[in-house]
Chain A
Amino acid sequence: MQDFLFYLVSGLCIGSIFALVAVGYTLVYGIIKLVNFAHGEFYMVGAYASFGTYSLLPSSTSPWLAIPLMVLAGGTAGAAIAGLTERVAYKPIRRSGRLAALLTAIGVSFLLQNLFAFFSQARPLQYPTEPHGSVGEICQRTVLLGTDGLVLIRFAYIGAAVLFCALLWYLVLRTRFGRAMRAVSQDADAATLMGIDVDRVIRHTFLIGGGLAGVAGTLIALQGVTEPMMGFLPGLKAFVAAVLGGIGNIAGAVVGGLLLGVIESLAVWAGVPTGYKDVAAFVILILVLVIRPQGLLGRVTRVKV
């Protein structure tokens, strides 16, 4: 039973990360109907940026100052790369159809992965766990949950997810910019006619999504490794989460992310071999697409004849 609690909590933690990334996916999809394959790479860039910040900071910096700084750097870098990608790659092909957009997104994803692989010589980076009290060591500290130790920093995932989702909720539903966003997602042309700067809304949506992915990447890398391919699988899973909740729906992305994290974790608890854990996510993806393509919280859209 205590075992179950451990898996449940660790599932919620990882689910929070999925939720943060999935929210970005869903925002972008909601606005320009693009499956932004490169979203996982924003996450990876965030992780690299925070590692860069860490190595620039003097070693005497208190970890309690360093970690927030790194998260900030990761978020900024994620937002920056997302903004850049939007401007350079997506904006010119916005009117040339879904296939072109999807292919470009795949191309950007591969380009970013390989750029980082090229320049980092494909060496995974890890925060040193020595000496005692350093960032790396703090992030490896565990708390005993049942019989297993749960890495303490994982609770920060939940915290970050709650904080950012609350901010986003406020932004989307309570501000002028949020209203513009919702308008663009329903009908971009009509929004333009109402005097909304659609380009700006799209750009800012990318910035927000990229920022959240960057933060998520930083948090994951704190206790794991930073490497060029790290964004691929979480990116795909976040997409699964977004589809699960109903793509284009922010609350759906959060629910989907948490649900996916918990399902994966409990699958391991229930005795599914770890190697097959990732299969679960894709099986869920196909099942959701087949049984309820609009997702758990999504609404059906009709094609007009």
Chain B
Amino acid sequence: MSWVELQPVLCQVGILAILALSLNVLCGLTGLLQLGHAGFYAIGAYTAGCYAIYATVPALGWCNLIPAAAAGMAAAALCSLVIGLPCLRLAGDYLAIATLGFAEIVRLILTNAELPGGRMFPGETIGGPTGIAFTEFPGQVWPGQEHYSAEYATLPVIWLGVGVTYLFLLNIKRSAIGRAFLCIREDEIAARTMGINVPRYKLLAFLLSAAFAGLAGALFFHQQLRINPGNFNLLKSIEVLLIVVLGGMGSLTGAICAAFLLGLLPCLLRHLDLSGVAFLPAILQKPLSEYSMLLYALLLILLTRLLPNGVFAMHELPTWLRPRPKTSPRRKAKAPEGRKP
């Protein structure tokens, strides 16, 4: 497989990784099941699209990516408050269904609403079933990249995004905030008696998760330059959830590894072809990529049965790679100081 062929695939893997990392904050760490991640992803992508159409400053060149991504993150975060606030009281399946409903609302609105084309598409409308499609993006390109179309979100940019997201979320996971998230996941009542403001932290998890999904959306738009509501259906939410489950609920490293696995899967399948295999009935003789949806579904069922904790469980490294924890404390602790009345 050539580099030119692999590059867009790796871009997709990166975007999937950001999505999985962000979903992991909500599902993995905080234990809130979310089936509408594609909704926030869509909001990020469409916000970046609208920025490109209405507000691009050509002189800024590729720097336009920064305000576009910021706008996408902000819009997604804002919407997460709209859906998160009323849904805080819901638990488990109910929350999952409510978020699914939200994502469907977003998708249906995107399918039906149309906006004027602005400067870029004078006299036309954008949105609706065809979404936003640029053939050529305004402004300058990366130096030395003329042979690509004018996409700002190139492979290094996307993976820079993955790195930033990973570090940001990992640091949070290992802080008091992450412990509060985990505490809510493990036992909400215990969390309340530990002084954790449960609704506030749930909302924060929603907010973080949505913001980074928005970032993924903005990068996706800048990588593809054409988006439509079909990119953001329930299947996308499920795919991301599958990655999170495969990597291990709560494991950020696991999410990235699983994104690689699932992102490269269709690419590998494309090179396998059953159409020449004589002993199969005619209906099965298809390129394996036709089977990818079937495989996804089977994988989801089998994974939940065989590997309920994912590859990494909630840790950052699989068991056999984890350093053996020392049983004795690392530092000499000072003598306990009793609080005097």
Are A and B interaction partners?
A: yes
Q: How far is the CA of A114 from the CA of B293 in the complex (A)?
A: 6
CB-based nearest A residue for B95? A289
Q: Is the interface of A mostly helix, strand, loop or mixed?
A: helix
Give the residues in chain A near B293, CB-CB below 8 Å: 110, 114, 117-118
The contact of A103 among B100, B102, B241, B298, by CB within 8 Å, is B241
**Cα separation A138 to B253 with both chains bound (whole Å):** 60
**B301 and A108 contacting across the interface, CB-CB below 8 Å:** yes
Q: How many Å from the CB of B32 to the closest CB on chain A?
A: 11
Interface string of A283-305 (1 = CB under 8 A from B): 10110011001000000000101
In the bound complex, do residue B238 and residue A106 qualify as a contact, i.e. CB atoms below 8 Å apart? yes
A111 CB within 8 Å of chain B: yes
Closest A residue to B234 by CB, please name it. A232
Q: Is the CB of A118 within 8 A of B87?
A: no
B300 and A275: CB pair below 8 A? Answer: no
Given contacts A119-B283, A278-B108, A279-B108, are A110 and B94 in contact (CB under 8 A)?
no
Chain B: CB-nearest residue to A103: B304
Contact check: which of A92, A104, A278, A289 meets B97 at CB < 8 Å? Answer: A289
Contact (Cβ within 8 A) A99 B301: no
Asked if A110 contacts B297 (CB within 8 A), the reply is: yes
Question: Are A289 and B94 within 8 A (Cβ)?
Answer: yes
Question: Within 8 Å CB of B33, what residues of A?
Answer: 99, 102
A56–B291 alpha-carbon span in the complex (Å): 29
A100-B304 CB under 8 A given contacts A118-B294, A293-B89: yes
The reply to whether A275 and B105 form a contact with Cβ atoms under 8 Å apart is no
Query: Closest residue to B90 on the A side, CB-wise?
Result: A289
Contacts of A283 in B (CB 8 A): 101, 105
Per-residue CB proximity of A59-98 to B under 8 Å, as 1/0? 0000000000000000000000000000001001100111
Which partner residue on chain B sits nearest A97 by CB separation? B308
Least distance between A43 CB and chain B CB atoms (Å): 17
Is there contact, CB below 8 Å, between B101 and A275? no
- With contact pairs A103-B241, A282-B105, A286-B86 given, residues A239 and B97 touching in the complex (Cβ less than 8 Å): yes
Contact B93 A98 (CB under 8 A): yes
B294: contacting residue among A35, A104, A115, CB under 8 A: A115
B296 within 8 A of A: yes
Q: CB of B245 within 8 A of chain A?
A: yes
Task: Select one of B93, B101, B294, B304 contacting A282, CB under 8 A.
Answer: B101
Is the CB of B262 closer than 8 A to any CB of chain A? no
Contact of B96 among A102, A290, A303 (CB under 8 A): A102
CA distance A180 to B110 in the complex (A): 47
Is B109 in the interface zone, CB < 8 Å from A?
yes
Return chain B residues, CB-CB under 8 Å to A98. 92-93
* CB of A263 closer than 8 Å to a CB of B: no
Complex alpha-carbon distance, A278 and B104, angstroms:
9
A104 contacts B111, C-beta separation under 8 Å: no
Q: Contacts A98-B92, A286-B87, A290-B87 hold; do A236 and B305 have CB atoms under 8 A apart?
A: no
Do the beta carbons of B294 and A114 come within 8 Å of each other? yes
Q: Mark B259-275, 1 if CB is under 8 A from A, else 0.
A: 00000000000000000
Closest residue of A by beta carbon distance from B238? A106
Q: Are B301 and A111 in contact (CB under 8 A)?
A: yes
* CB-nearest residue of chain A to B237: A106
Please tell me if A139 contacts chain B, counting CB pairs below 8 Å.
no
Q: Is A276 an interface residue (CB 8 A)?
A: yes
B304→A289 contact, CB < 8 A: no
A58 part of interface (Cβ distance < 8 Å): no
With A96-B308, A282-B105: A110-B98 Cβ-Cβ less than 8 Å: no
* Bound: A239/B96 CA distance, A: 12
Question: Which one, B97, B189, B299, contacts A35 given CB within 8 A?
Answer: B97
Q: Determine whether the beta carbon of B87 is less than 8 Å from that of A289.
A: yes
Asked if A111 contacts B97 (CB within 8 A), the reply is no
Let me know if A35 and B93 touch, CB within 8 A. Answer: yes
Question: Interface code B64-88, partner A: CB below 8 Å = 1, 0 otherwise?
Answer: 0000000000000000000100110
**A279-B109 contact in complex given A111-B297, A114-B294, A285-B97, C-beta closer than 8 Å:** yes
Taking the nearest CB of chain A, how far is it from the CB of B171, in angstroms?
26
Q: Counting CB contacts under 8 A, is A243 at the interface?
A: yes
Q: Are A107 and B283 in contact (CB under 8 A)?
A: no
Q: Is B290 in contact with chain A by the CB < 8 A criterion?
A: yes
Cross-chain pairs A/B with CB under 8 angstroms, 20 sampled: A93-B304, A97-B308, A98-B92, A102-B96, A107-B299, A107-B300, A107-B301, A108-B301, A110-B297, A111-B297, A113-B297, A114-B294, A118-B290, A118-B294, A236-B104, A273-B112, A275-B111, A276-B112, A290-B98, A293-B90
A: residues with CB less than 8 A from B are 33, 35, 89, 92-93, 96-100, 102-104, 106-111, 113-115, 117-119, 236, 239-240, 243, 273, 275-276, 278-279, 282-283, 285-286, 289-290, 293, 303, 305
5 closest A-B pairs by CB: A107-B300, A111-B297, A110-B297, A107-B301, A275-B112
